[in-house]
Chain A
Amino acid sequence: MCIGCSHCMRVCPTEAIRVSEGKAHLLENRCIDCGECYRVCPTHAITVEQDDFSQIYSFEYRIALIPSVLLGQFPDDATTEQVAQALLNLGFTSVIEVEDSVEYLIVKLNEYVRNNPNKPVISSFCPAIVRLVQVKFPSLVDNIALVRPPLDLTASYIKSTLISEGIAEDKIGIFYITPCAAKIVAIRKPEGEDKSEITGIINMDFIYNRILREVRNGIIPPGKTMFDSRLSPRSYTWGLTTGESSHIEGRCLAIDGIWNVIEFLEKVENEEVSGIDFLELRACDESCAGGILNPGNRFLAADAIRKSSGEVGMWSIDSVSPKNKDYKRRVGNQSGLQPLSPRSMLKLDEDMARAMLKMKRVNRLMCYLPGIDCGVCGTPSCLSLAEDIVQGNGSVSQCVFLQKIMEQSKLDPSHSFRIMKKVWGENRFKKDCDKPIRNK
C-alpha cells in the first residue's frame, strides 16, 4: 500500500512521479519502465502485473522461454538441467533459452552497425533504454538499432519451427520468464512492432520459489538431462554487461545503470564524443542480472552466469552455421524493427510560440522558488513544480517557502495547512511510530 513517502518520486530518472492526496501518482507518458521506483519502495506498493499462471493450460504446446539470468539465480542450488526439469514439472511442455537466436543476431547486428550512418548505433536490447531515448533524447531515436532483440527473434523462430511441424498456431503458447518490468511493457505495447510473438509473461520472482521447491523437495535428481543447452558461451552472457559490446565490430562501449546511461547520452547528443560505433546501454546496474524481479543478488548472478558460460558443453562452431542458416531461412525477413518515433516529454507545448510563453513563465517562477528541490510540494524539483504550474497542474502555494511568505500577508495559516494535507494526506500529520525509515 502506498504511504506517499515520496522515495520513488525522488529517484525517478524522468521525473514521472508526483505526490498528491498522500499517494504517489504516475505520469504515464513519461514512464520508461526502468523500475527504479520499484527498488526504493519501502512498502512494496509498486507491483509488476503478470499473467495468470494457469493460462498456460489453454495451449497444447506450452513453451517456457527462459533468459540465462534465470539460471544465474540458483548459483549453488540447482543446475540448468534441474531448473529446466522443474519448469517441465510445473506444466510446460518444453523449455527454450531466450538467447537461442544470439548467434544469428550477432551477424545481423554487425551488418546493421556496418551499414548504418547514424553513429553510434544504440542497442535495442533493453526496452527501458529504447523508451528513455524516445522521451528524453529524441534526437537520438534514429541511432537505435532497428534489429529485433533476441527474445522476439527466438519467439518467432520457435513459432515458425512448430508451425512447419504441422502444429496449429493457436495451439502454441510462448511464455517468457521476465527479470524486469521493461520487458513486460515491451511485450504488451511493443515499439517498432505491431504485435509481440510472446503469448504471456511470468515474473521471475514468482517462478523462482516454485522452481526452488521442486528442486529442494528432491523431485528432480541432479544430473537428469531432459534438457540440453544449445547456447554458445557468448550467447549465454548476452544479457550481462559487455555481453553485446564484445561481439560487435568497431569501437564499442557498454554502459549499465540508468543514470550512467543518461550522463553518457547527454554527451552523445551534444556530439562531444565521436568515433564510437556501437553502444550497449542497459537500464540496470549489472544489466539483466540486476533486473528488478530477480530474487538473487546481481553480482552473484552475473558471476554464476559467466562461470557456467565457460562450461557450456555441447557447443561447437560447426553447430552455429547450420543453425544460423535455419534462422535466416525462417526469420531472416523478420529481423528488423519498424522505424521508432520520438515521444519527447520535455516539450512545453506543441506550438512553439506557446511553448516560448510557457518557458518565460517558468523562468519567472524560478526567480521566486528557492531552488533547493526539497520535494515538499509533491514534485521532484522546483523546476518541475514551475513546469506543472505553467501546464495547469500545480499551484505556487504548494511550495512551503512561498507559503511562509504568503502567510505574512494574505494566506491564512489554516489554509496553508490544508494545502499541505492535500499533497501529503491527513495521515502524514498524525503521530506514527511505525513509519518505514530509510536507512542509508
Chain B
Amino acid sequence: MHFEYRVQGGDFVRAGQASSQVKKILKQLNVAPQIIKRVVVALYEGEVNIVAHAFQGKIYIDIETDKIRVILDDVGPGIPDIEMAMRPGFSTASPIVREMGFGAGMGLPNIKENTDRMKISSVVGVGTRLEFVVNLKE
C-alpha cells in the first residue's frame, strides 16, 4: 500500500501530521504497538528535520505485510557531511528552531536506533533523501 504526504519547511504547527496518519494506519493493520512506536518516532524525526532544516519535502510510504519503507525527499540546503550529521549532539539548528524545542542533534541518531535499515543521500544546495525500513514482524 502506498501513501504520500507533503511537508512544508518552517511549518512547525503541522509537523507530525504524517507520523500521526501513519500511526493510525499501522494500528488498523494490527501491527504490534512496540513496532508502531519505532516507526512513528523515526518518521516524526524525519518530518521535523524537513520542517527545521529544508524548504519543502515529500514523504513516500510503502507498506507491505512484512515491512514499511519510508522515503523522505526534500528540496533544501542538503547535508555537507553526513557522517558528522549522524553524530549524537551534532546540530546546525538555528536559534528559532531551538526556541521551538528542537536542535539537540538527536534526531538522526534516534532514527538509526529505531529502524532496521537507514540511508541518507544528499546533494549540497539541492536537497536530501532519507530512506528507512522497519520490519513489521518481530
Residue numbers of A with Cβ under 8 A of B are: 138-139, 141, 266, 269-272, 342, 344, 346-353, 355-356, 359-360
Contacts and interface: CB of A to CB of B under 8 A. Distances in A.
Contacts of A349: 30
B1 A359 contact: yes
Given A346-B28, A352-B29, A352-B30, A270 B36 contact: no
Given A269-B40, A347-B30, A355-B28, 11 more contacts: A139-B36, A270-B16, A270-B20, A272-B16, A346-B24, A346-B28, A348-B28, A348-B30, A352-B29, A353-B65, A356-B65
Nearest to B22: A270
B19 interface: yes
A348 B30 CA distance: 7
Given A271-B41, A272-B44, A346-B24, A355 B29 contact: yes
A-B pairs with lowest CB-CB distance, top 3: A139-B33, A347-B30, A346-B27
Contacts of A353: 65
Given A270-B23, A346-B24, A356 B29 contact: yes
Contacts of A270: 16, 19-20, 23, 40, 44
Contacts of B20: 266, 270
B75 to A, nearest CB: 25
Contacts, number: 57
Nearest to A274: B101
A355 to B, nearest CB: 5
B37 interface: yes
B31 A352 contact: yes
Interface residues of chain B: helix, strand, loop or mixed (majority): helix
B96 to A, nearest CB: 19
B120 interface: no
Contacts of A355: 28-30
Given A272-B44, A360-B1, A138 B33 contact: yes
**Most central of B29, B40, B41 by chain A CB within 10 Å:** B29
A261 to B, nearest CB: 17
Contacts of A359: 1, 25, 28-29
17 contacts: A139-B33, A271-B40, A271-B41, A346-B24, A347-B30, A349-B30, A350-B30, A352-B30, A352-B136, A355-B29, A356-B1, A356-B65, A359-B1, A359-B25, A359-B28, A359-B29, A360-B1
